[in-house]
Structure 1
């Protein structure tokens, strides 16, 4: 993900002839989405803060807003079978932070 963000920043500096609209974004939020069980064995708060601070500084140097975070997917979609249709889409929009069990809509 950080590699893709780096490529995006390079493309902004030297845009292709087609100049895609994506390169005009003024804010990019880098997110790792996974179920809580994936994160459970790890203490990721220090890493999350360090990466966030680094990408914020990089973004500021490039005149844009960058952020980074690990987000927890809804437990409804962490198991098998996955819900279908509208339920799945609704639950994909419900994310929490590593430090909270609260769902917030993306």
Structure 2
């Protein structure tokens, strides 16, 4: 059962397939048949339900120890971008040592 009408469109539920250009068009009757319209692109996002999970970090390390930490996040759309920071300084991919 559609809940949309000539004045509005109702999507229940919105899905990834709902993204796209939405356009409202108004046209005159004969004899001119002129039309005007307005359109907007609608994006659909899927946010992760939980924040990032950090694993592999112990509370204490000795000098010379190795640390391999892993940051993961649930699937999202668009895909989440992860960044690493150590003492509020961003760590870049090519930076092997801190």
TM-score normalised over the length of structure 2: 0.22
Bigger radius of gyration, 1 or 2? 2
> Which is richer in strand?
2
Higher relative CO (Cα under 8 Å, sequence separation at least 6) belongs to 1
> Which is richer in helix?
1
